[in-house]
Structure 1
Amino acid sequence: MSEIDETRRGGTALSLPACTVPDPSTAPGLRWGVISPGHIADQFTATAHRATASRVVSVVSRSSQRAEEFASRHGITHWGDSVEEMLSRGGLDAVYIASPHAQHRDLARPVLEAGVPVLVEKAFTLNLGQSRELLDLARARGVFAMEAMWARFLPQYDVLRQVLAGGLLGEIIEVAADHGQSFPPDPAHRMYAPELGGGALLDLGVYPVSFAQMVLGDLDDLAVRGDLTGTGVDAYVALLARGARGGRARLSSTLSARTPTEAVVSGTLGSARLEGAFFAPGTLTVSLLDGRSAQFAHPGAPGDGMAYEIAEAARRITAGQLESPLMSWEDTLSVMRTMDAMRAELGVVYPGEERA
């Protein structure tokens, strides 16, 4: 169960809104296909089987041996090295794509063309143009599509959205968030490889950018600073921006050092803090200027965070909806638009893109 820690001043306790997120185990069970069985796909599959009614029934990798090993580890019936074969076999309610960013567009397109709902890892694609292409296709075919920004579906994010909607923090002045991890320099590693969409921004920085967009709306008036690696991708990037709903964003990301990975929303009446890692199951602390504070702790197992996005996709797909309001198509396009502008300012251009 979640834990609420309250402080009183003058006999009045601060109470946070109740979480409205349903238990993931109550969502309809879907038959999933998985494309690109790496580490994050391993987490997705294990979580789906452990904490939801959904099951992964097919897996595809460029290496048939890798697919077979993944299938054996998770009790999956079908495996292979062909997306087309997986789709032609049928029996799928949805497909999860967990490849590097540079492959998302080309892997998601045949799935959508086959009329199968798709959940695509963040960042959704390499750039805004590719995202528009996929979402236009999803709209034309009447097929569900969603960016797998798992943080947005967590219980503490639900409580935070209610806190903001209720005006508990007053006028929002600033959103601050960081995400840094330490990856030793290695031109062969995907984080350093331009051909795989490498760099801190699309892999790590997408979390702070998406968080700020959720709180403040579309970001503009961007001021960007950063440093590049020897391979030409971003090693560090920082952003100051203004939100469409008011307030400023102060964001940073790096692949060269581990940072606190916290997010803080500061308003005229108080602040809300998601402690590291702010994008994973954890604790939300709301502190008001009148001295009162309260906490909301993740109500489930810490390792089952991905269950909430799996459950959200299952509910929307079963209801015949094309998108989720928690991570809408417009949200995805807004985040991609901001990241495109940040990369342009830094001079990061991926193979196949034209330099701005």
Structure 2
Amino acid sequence: MTGRLRWGILGLGGISRKFTADLWAAGIEVGAVGSRSQATADAFAADFGVARAHDSYAALVDDPAVDVVYVGTPHPFHAEHALLALRAGKHVLVEKPFALNAAQARAVVAEADARGLVVLEAMWTRFLPHMVRLRELIRGGAIGEVRTLTADHSQRLPSDPGHRLQDPALGGGALLDLGIYPVSFAWDVFGRPETVWARSTPTATGVDAQTTVVLTYRDGQQAVTHSALDVAGRNDAVVLGTEGRIEIDPTWYRPTTLRLVAPDGRVVESVDGVVPGRGMQLQAFELERLVREGRASGDVLPPQESVAIMETLDEVRRQIGLVYPGE
């Protein structure tokens, strides 16, 4: 495919505003936006100088001025809206988590495969410079045999029972909003876990306030992740190896600094991972690269891995008793 790809933004909440700001700053064209409300679509389009604003998601995906659709709606609608865009012949970047559960994720990937379209999970952290360097260091043996990963994602978020994060019907709780980051990180470093162990503390509305997950692997490696929505944590991470460690400063899942540290505590290398904006444009660059090269998936986050991560999250939810309405 030649020429510039034109993006459509489906769902115009806070995450879509952040993503669109990074797209425009990076020179990526946004051709249209879509909401369930014409007034909301018009206001969003005016804020970002977008020419076309639609009052339905169906109109957005059918717009010939759109080549790629970014799905920024709440978790329970990710699969539905990704399928809507794919069936309209559009490539899709779907906000994390990829879907509400693994069954939905499989349906999205199958549809993309059947139509020869690219679908990518918007796990933006994977594409940030410090994470790219972390993978290079690990592959190059800089810390020897990798043994342990620990990562936290804890924020003090709204406690209002009516808020999306507290609502089971909207996929609320710490796990899918916050915990997916460190779980995806563990998958990035170690791959598929051999065992999953999880414990949780619920909120008054029945979603998880905090969840700890321990993943173990065939050769004895361990990943320990923690997420919480009622306390503000340090939000740092470390990967330990037999010949050193990699420390990631707060906030580890955003553009930040990384250090390669020797066993005696010497800093061998320091990486400044700061990028323009939030760095969300980098996942858009990846999707556009895949489209240009005629590839269905890349090496950083193939869609089948997004499905497998959802399988891990499904198992965590099974163990902590977190069931969403309609599943």
Whether the TM-score (by the shorter chain) exceeds 0.5 is yes
Q: Does residue 56 in structure 1 map to residue 30 in structure 2?
A: yes
Q: Does residue 212 in structure 1 map to residue 168 in structure 2?
A: no
C-alpha separation between the residues in 2 aligned to 1:249 and 1:304? 26
- The equivalent of 1:23 in structure 2 is none
C-alpha separation between the residues in 1 aligned to 2:275 and 2:220? 33
C-alpha contact (below 8 Å) 1:226/1:235 kept by paired residues: yes
Alignment of 1:128-207 (within 5 A): 128-207=102-181
Q: Does residue 37 in structure 1 map to residue 3 in structure 2?
A: no
- The equivalent of 1:314 in structure 2 is 288
Q: Is the partner of 1:164 in helix, strand or coil?
A: helix
Higher deviation after alignment, 82-91 or 136-145: 82-91
C-alpha separation between the residues in 2 aligned to 1:310 and 1:200? 26
User: Of the candidates 47, 51, 54, which is equivalent to residue 22 of structure 2?
Assistant: 47
C-alpha contact (below 8 Å) 1:144/1:317 kept by paired residues: yes
Q: Is the partner of 1:201 in helix, strand or coil?
A: helix
Higher deviation after alignment, 330-339 or 149-158: 330-339
Output one character per residue of 1:187-241: Cα deviation in whole Å (capped at 9) or x when no partner.
Answer: 1101001111100000000000000110011123122111111111111100111
Aligned residues between the structures: 325
* CA apart distance, 1:167: 1.0
* CA apart distance, 1:28: 7.1
- The equivalent of 1:339 in structure 2 is 313
* CA apart distance, 1:299: 4.9
Q: Percent identity over the alignment?
A: 39
- The equivalent of 1:114 in structure 2 is 88
C-alpha separation between the residues in 1 aligned to 2:35 and 2:100? 20
C-alpha contact (below 8 Å) 2:117/2:296 kept by paired residues: yes
C-alpha contact (below 8 Å) 1:59/1:78 kept by paired residues: yes
Output one character per residue of 1:4-35: Cα deviation in whole Å (capped at 9) or x when no partner.
Answer: xxxxxxxxxxxxxxxxxxxxxxx974200001
C-alpha separation between the residues in 1 aligned to 2:3 and 2:121? 19
Q: Is the partner of 2:144 in helix, strand or coil?
A: coil
C-alpha separation between the residues in 2 aligned to 1:345 and 1:49? 42
C-alpha contact (below 8 Å) 1:146/1:324 kept by paired residues: no
Higher deviation after alignment, 252-261 or 292-301: 292-301
C-alpha contact (below 8 Å) 2:61/2:69 kept by paired residues: no
Structure 1 gap ranges (5+): 1-26
C-alpha separation between the residues in 1 aligned to 2:133 and 2:214? 26
C-alpha separation between the residues in 1 aligned to 2:111 and 2:219? 30
- The equivalent of 1:24 in structure 2 is none
C-alpha separation between the residues in 1 aligned to 2:301 and 2:150? 20
Higher deviation after alignment, 189-198 or 303-312: 303-312
* CA apart distance, 1:55: 1.2
- TM-score, normalised to structure 1, is 0.88
C-alpha contact (below 8 Å) 1:216/1:246 kept by paired residues: no
Q: Is the partner of 1:271 in helix, strand or coil?
A: strand
- The equivalent of 2:78 in structure 1 is 104
- The equivalent of 2:65 in structure 1 is 91
C-alpha separation between the residues in 2 aligned to 1:244 and 1:304? 36
* CA apart distance, 1:93: 1.6
Letter paired with 1:211: F
User: Of the candidates 50, 69, 89, which is equivalent to residue 43 of structure 2?
Assistant: 69
- The equivalent of 1:4 in structure 2 is none
C-alpha contact (below 8 Å) 1:28/1:311 kept by paired residues: no
C-alpha separation between the residues in 1 aligned to 2:84 and 2:251? 34
Q: Does residue 234 in structure 1 map to residue 208 in structure 2?
A: yes
- The equivalent of 1:5 in structure 2 is none
C-alpha contact (below 8 Å) 2:37/2:56 kept by paired residues: no
C-alpha contact (below 8 Å) 1:213/1:243 kept by paired residues: no
C-alpha contact (below 8 Å) 2:32/2:65 kept by paired residues: no
- The equivalent of 2:252 in structure 1 is 278
- The equivalent of 1:352 in structure 2 is 326
* CA apart distance, 1:246: 5.0
Q: Is the partner of 1:34 in helix, strand or coil?
A: strand
Spell out structure 1 runs of 4+ moving beyond 6 A. Answer: none
